[in-house]
Amino acid sequence: MTAQLRVGVCVLGATGSIGRSTLDVLRRHPERWRVESLGAQRDVAAMLAACDEFRPRLVAMADEQAAHELACALASKGLEIKVLAGESGMCTIAADQASGIVVAAIVGAAGLASALAAARAGKRILLANKEALVMSGALFMHEVAEHGASLIPLDSEHNALFQCMPHLAAPKGDAGVESLILTASGGPFLDWSAERLQEVTPEQACAHPNWSMGKKISVDSASLMNKGLEVIEAFWLFAMPLQRIKVVVHPQSIVHSMVAYSDGSVLAQLGLPDMRTPIAHALAWPERVTSGVGALDLTMLGDLRFVAPDMQRFPCLRLAYAALDEGGLAPAALNAANEVAVDAFLQGVLGFVQIPQLIEAVLDAVPWGEAHNLQQVFAADAQARTLARELVQDWPATREQGS
C-alpha cells in the first residue's frame, strides 16, 4: 500500500484507555493508516507526547486553558500542528475531510456532539462512546443512515456480536437471528453479599479483575450499569427487540458475546480481554490485521463459567432494561443520573449501593416523555443531572435519618 492510499484517522478521547489502545494499534500499521487528528479533554502532557510521535495535522482540547498550553508547548518544540479548543473544536476534527475513520472514544455524554458531527460528515465511526447511543439512539441512527455514515462497534461485546452476525444476505431475507447474548464479567463484586456491597470503596470498584479501563466504565462494570448501557447499545446497533437481548455473567471475559440462531446454533467470539482486538478488527474490517494481542490458549484457562445476573444485588441492569422499555428520553435520563452518581461515588460522597437508588429516584421523579429531537435529549440530560445533583446533596441527611 502506498503512502497516498493511507486512510486518515481521527481519534477522539486519544489520551484515555481506548484512545491509547487505538494509538497502539495504529502505531503497528503506519503503512495503512495516518493519524490526522486527535482530541482530548485536558491532559496536555499525554497529548504532547502523542503529537510528537504521530504528527497529526489537527488537535482539539475540550478545555480552553489546556488548548492554550498545548499550543505553546507545540510551538516551543517547533511542531506545526493546529490546536482547536472546546466542543466546537472537537466537532471540527470529527468532521474534517482528511479523516475517513473517526474513533469515538470520549467518555460519557460529552462525546455525543462530536460523534454526531462524525455521523453528519458521513464517516466510518468506530464507536466506543456507548453513552451517545444510550442518550439518543433513534436520532443518532437516523443521522448515520441519512448521511451515509457507518457504525462499527468497538465495545468488545458489540464488536463480538458484529463478528458473529450474518453479513451475507440470506436469499429469503431470514438470517435466523434468534437472540443476542451479551456476556458480562460481573465485575469485582460478583460474589459479594448485599451487606458487603455497602462498604465498597472507589479503589475497589476501579480495580477490575480482567480489563484495564477508565474510572467511569470501571465503576459501571462493578455496578452492572455498563451491561445495562450495553443492552441499550445493542438494541440500537442491531435493531433487536429488547426481549431478545440477554445477559449472561461470564467472569473470565474470554467469550465476548454470542449470537443465537433459530436452528440452535450459537456463534461466539473468543479472545483475551484486550481492547486492541476489537479496535484492530473495527479499523481493518473486513480485513484483519495484527493487534499486538497474544494468542488464546484455551488449555491454560481451565473452566469457563456462565451464570445468570443477579438483579437484586445489582439493580442497575434492571433499571437500564426498564428505561429502554419506557423509551423516549428515559435512557438519556438514566445515563445522566448514572454519570452524576458515579462521579459522586468516586468523590466519596455517595455509597456504591446508593448509585442505583439515586438513578431510580431520578427516573421516577418526572415523566421523561418522547425524544423527537436532539434539543429534547440535551434538555433531558441537563434536567436529570440537576435532579441527581440535588438528590446527592440531600443524600447524607437522608442516610442519617434512615440509619
What is the contact surface with Mg ion in residues (CB under 5 A)?
155-157
Question: What's the rounded Cα separation, in Å, for the pair 143 and 228?
Answer: 24
Joined together, the cell numbers standing for residue 177 give: 437471528
- Residue number with the shortest CB distance to Mg ion? 155
| CA-based nearest residue to 297, from 333, 336, 334, 254 | 254
- Residue number with the shortest CB distance to ligand NAD? 16
CB closer to Mg ion, 12 vs 121 = 12
CB closer to ligand NAD, 41 vs 179 = 41
CB closer to ligand NAD, 334 vs 391 = 334
Q: Residue 282 in contact with residue 216, Cβ under 8 Å?
A: no
Q: Residue 177 in contact with residue 261, Cβ under 8 Å?
A: yes
Q: Shortest Cβ distance from residue 156 to Mg ion (Å)?
A: 5
Q: Shortest Cβ distance from residue 182 to Mg ion (Å)?
A: 8
Through-space distance between the first and last CA atoms of the chain, rounded to whole angstroms = 67
- Give which of ligand NAD, Mg ion, none residue 150 binds (C-beta under 5 to 8 Å, depending on kind): none
- Give which of ligand NAD, Mg ion, none residue 213 binds (C-beta under 5 to 8 Å, depending on kind): ligand NAD
Q: Shortest Cβ distance from residue 367 to ligand NAD (Å)?
A: 28
- Give which of ligand NAD, Mg ion, none residue 131 binds (C-beta under 5 to 8 Å, depending on kind): ligand NAD
Joined together, the cell numbers standing for residue 34 give: 495516518
CB closer to ligand NAD, 71 vs 391 = 71
Q: Residue 245 in contact with residue 378, Cβ under 8 Å?
A: no
Residue 128: CB partners within 8 Å, gap ≥ 6?
13, 18, 103, 104, 105, 154, 155
- Give which of ligand NAD, Mg ion, none residue 69 binds (C-beta under 5 to 8 Å, depending on kind): none
Q: Shortest Cβ distance from residue 190 to ligand NAD (Å)?
A: 18
Q: Residue 358 in contact with residue 252, Cβ under 8 Å?
A: no
Give the distance, in angstroms, between the CA of residue 268 and the centroid of all CA atoms in the same chain: 21
- Give which of ligand NAD, Mg ion, none residue 130 binds (C-beta under 5 to 8 Å, depending on kind): ligand NAD
In sequence order, the β-bridge partners of residue 153 are: 127
Question: What's the rounded Cα separation, in Å, for the pair 159 and 270?
Answer: 11
CB closer to ligand NAD, 18 vs 377 = 18
CB closer to Mg ion, 18 vs 90 = 18
- Give which of ligand NAD, Mg ion, none residue 62 binds (C-beta under 5 to 8 Å, depending on kind): ligand NAD
Q: Shortest Cβ distance from residue 58 to ligand NAD (Å)?
A: 14
Summarize as ranges the residues that interact with ligand NAD (CB under 6 A): 13-19, 39-41, 43, 62, 90, 105-107, 110, 128-131, 155, 211, 213-214, 216-217, 275
Given the DSSP bridges, would you call strands 266-270 and 255-261 parallel, antiparallel or unpaired?
A: antiparallel
- Within 44-181, residue ranges assigned H as helices are 44-54, 64-76, 86-95, 112-120, 130-146, 156-164
Q: Shortest Cβ distance from residue 13 to Mg ion (Å)?
A: 15
Q: Shortest Cβ distance from residue 171 to Mg ion (Å)?
A: 34
Q: Shortest Cβ distance from residue 154 to Mg ion (Å)?
A: 9
CB closer to Mg ion, 36 vs 157 = 157
Q: What is the largest CA-CA distance in the chain?
A: 69
